[in-house]
Structures are given as C-alpha cells and as structure tokens.
C-alpha cells in the first residue's frame, strides 16, 4: 500500500499558504491607506477599496488599463518615463522612500498626498506598488491653526483699538447729529455734517466687523431649514435689490435636509454674499442663489453672479482680511463669512462660473457632523 503522507503534507501546506494569502489580501483590502499596483507596462493590476474612495473610480474602470487617469495630466508622461527608466536601469530616486505629491480625483479636484513605492518580482515580471495617504485634512487643519494664530493676534489688537476708538467715535457722531439739527445751517455746512455722520457710521461698521472676525462668537445652535433662511434674507433685502434693479433668482431643491446652525449667523453670511454679488454686476445685475442636498447628509448653497469673474492674481487673496477691490470696501465680509461657515463645520470656496461671473459655494454638514465641531 502506497504511502500518501507526502501528498497530504503538500496539500496541507498549500491550504495553509492560501489561508495566509487570503489573510494578507483582507488586510490590504480593508486598510485605510490607498494601495495601487502596476506592472512594467504601466497597467493597473490591483487597487484596494481605499484607493477607489480616494480617487473616485471603481476597480472595474481602472484595473487592466493604464494608470494615467489617477495622475494629473501634466505629470502623466513623466511618470510613465520614470517607470520605463527604472525597468531599464534599475535606478530610482523614490523607490523605498516617501514623497509628497499632488494627485487628482475623478471630478478633477486636486489634493495633496503622501506616497511611497515598493517593487516585487512575481512570475518573472516586476510589479510596482504605491501606498498613498490623503493629506487634505492635515493641510486644512494646519491652515486653520495658522489662521487661528493670526486671528488671536488680531483679536488682541482689535480689543485695544476698539476700546480706544469707539467712545470718541460715538461722541463725534453724536455731536455731528446734534449740530445737524441746529436751525440756520447753510447747505454747505449741512452737507459736510452729513459726510461726517456717514463716515462715523462706516467706521463703526468696520469695528463691528473686526469684532465678528477676531473675537469668539456665541452661536444659537438649532436644527434649521437653510431654504427658509434664504427666503427670509431675500425678503429682508428686497428693497435693496429693487433699488439696484437687481434680479434675484432662488432655486430650492426638494427634500432639503435640516442642518444644525445659527440662523442669524448664516443670514449674515448670505447678506454679505448677496451684497458682493450685486456690486459685481453692472447696470441691472442678476444674482442666482441655489440650495440643495450635498449628497452627504448636508446642504450645498451656491451664490452666482454675472460680473467680471475672479482675476487670477487676486484669487488667493479673496479671504484675506482687509483685502478688497471695491471702493469703500472693508475687505472683511468674506473673511467673516469663512469664519462663520468653518465654525459650522462647513467649507466655503469661490471660483469662476460658465456665465462669466463668480460662484461662491458653501458646503454645510448635517447635524451629527456639526455637533462634533461646535466652537468653544
């Protein structure tokens, strides 16, 4: 009778090896880091779930095809040449090291990521694996920390300046109003007093905006319908809209989810944005406000104008305090709006639209996300 123990031993070893491979596959498949493997021909042979989520592509769309869709267009040829050179020479600067690069999602959005590369020989061929980590949140957090530091310094300055200025400013305004009521003033003197009163009001408005930007805010948190806030602001600003012959169009999508927010603070944001949109247009400006679900349990609010759009040289300065392109503007409206939106756990962006104007896009999360980010 033949001894089948060697055969049984081999089957046992194969079964154990298969179990180990499945274990490692599950580890990679469920990892939070994105993993993508390509062969020598720049073709994707593996992609885990985290990579699908990171880039917005399904594996069925990417695996078996070229890696190019996951690389920004301007870097694709360089990446392919890098792989070809490594296959030919075996020399690589990044292999085994981590680097920070810019990547591109399916929707065209760019984001920073950390990437490290490794190589393996399988069945006589070479496979190259990239392990990637999205750095967007870390970069956003670092920017918030830097901005908070700047606001803290600004807050100390504002507290001092406001204290020193507000009282004499109120006296100047009060005396000017009293003198303006005196009988017998000639037209020239009356006009000068009106200018003083207007400028005092403008300076008081600047001090209030500085306070909104720099000091800690108190929020009255409640579940609200943002569509109702938009309608309310439209009613409040109706006389101003008619005075400037501005046509306001409001698009409200159905099934709008409730969000946790401060109604008055979001109204303040919307009023600032509508004023900017009206001033951007010429003649009879047209402004469009659209509010709808954002697909992640929150809401998306867009304010679109038909002005001249955003000049490339000022795009990075739009949310910088005191930067303005408007005569008589304070440059505080957009920074204040950003602070309020971010303290609601949201995000505000500004970009050109296809009508030649600018679009301000605000994304606000639903109640659970906000409750974890309530400001102190």
Amino acid 290: pLDDT: 94
**Domains along the chain with CATH numbers:** 31-134 (3.30.450.20), 135-215 (1.10.287), 220-376 (3.30.565.10)
Question: How wide is the angle at C-alpha 323 spanned by C-alphas 308 and 313, nearest 5°?
Answer: 50
Please state, as a whole number, how many other Cβ atoms lie within 10 Å of the Cβ of residue 147.
Answer: 16
- pLDDT-wise least confident of 125-129, 226-230, 244-248, 302-306: 125-129
Percent of the chain with pLDDT over 90: 13
Please state, as a whole number, how many other Cβ atoms lie within 10 Å of the Cβ of residue 55.
Answer: 23
pLDDT tens digits for range 90-108: 665 555 566 778 888 888 7
Is the C-alpha dihedral spanning 81, 32, 52, 112 positive or negative? negative
pLDDT tens digits for range 267-326: 989 988 998 888 887 777 889 999 999 877 889 999 999 877 887 777 778 777 776 766
DSSP H or E segment with residue 363: strand 358-364
Say if residues 70 and 62 touch (Cβ distance below 8 Å): yes
What is the layout of strands, in order, in the sheet containing 299-304? 247-252, 286-293, 299-304, 358-364, 347-352
């Amino acid at each position: 009778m033949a001894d089948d123990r060697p055969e049984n031993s081999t089957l046992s070893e194969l079964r154990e090896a298969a179990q180990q491979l499945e274990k490692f596959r599950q580890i990679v498949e469920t990892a939070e880091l994105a993993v993508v493997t390509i062969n020598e021909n720049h073709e994707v042979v593996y992609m885990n779930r985290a990579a699908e989520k990171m880039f917005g592509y399904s594996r069925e769309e990417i695996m078996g095809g070229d890696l190019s869709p996951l690389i920004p267009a301007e870097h694709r040829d360089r990446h392919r040449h890098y792989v070809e050179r490594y296959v030919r020479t075996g020399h690589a600067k990044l292999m085994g090291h981590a680097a920070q690069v810019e990547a591109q999602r399916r929707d065209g959005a760019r984001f920073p990521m950390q990437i490290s590369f490794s190589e393996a020989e399988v069945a006589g061929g070479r496979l190259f694996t990239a392990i990637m980590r999205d750095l967007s949140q870390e970069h956003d957090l670092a920017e918030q920390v830097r901005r908070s530091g700047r606001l803290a310094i600004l807050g100390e300055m504002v507290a001092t300046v406001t204290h020193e200025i507000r009282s004499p400013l109120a006296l100047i305004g009060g005396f000017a109003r009293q003198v303006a009521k005196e009988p017998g003033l000639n037209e020239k003197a009356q006009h000068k007093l009106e200018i003083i009163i207007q400028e005092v009001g403008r300076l008081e408005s600047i001090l209030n905006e500085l306070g909104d930007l720099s000091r800690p805010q108190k929020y009255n948190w409640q579940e609200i319908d943002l569509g109702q806030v938009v309608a309310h602001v439209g009613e409040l600003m109706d006389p101003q809209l008619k005075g400037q012959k501005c046509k306001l169009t409001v698009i409200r999508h159905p099934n709008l989810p409730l969000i946790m927010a401060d109604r008055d603070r979001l109204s303040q944001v919307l009023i600032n944005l509508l004023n900017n949109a009206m001033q951007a247009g010429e003649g009879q400006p047209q402004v469009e406000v659209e509010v709808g679900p954002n697909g992640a349990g929150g809401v998306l609010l867009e304010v679109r104008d038909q002005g001249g759009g955003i000049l490339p040289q000022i795009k990075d300065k739009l949310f910088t305090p005191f930067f303005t392109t408007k005569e008589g503007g304070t440059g505080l409206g957009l920074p204040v709006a950003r602070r309020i939106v971010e303290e609601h756990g949201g995000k505000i962006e500004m970009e050109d639209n296809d009508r030649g104007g600018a679009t301000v896009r605000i994304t606000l999360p639903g109640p659970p996300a906000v409750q974890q980010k309530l400001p102190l």
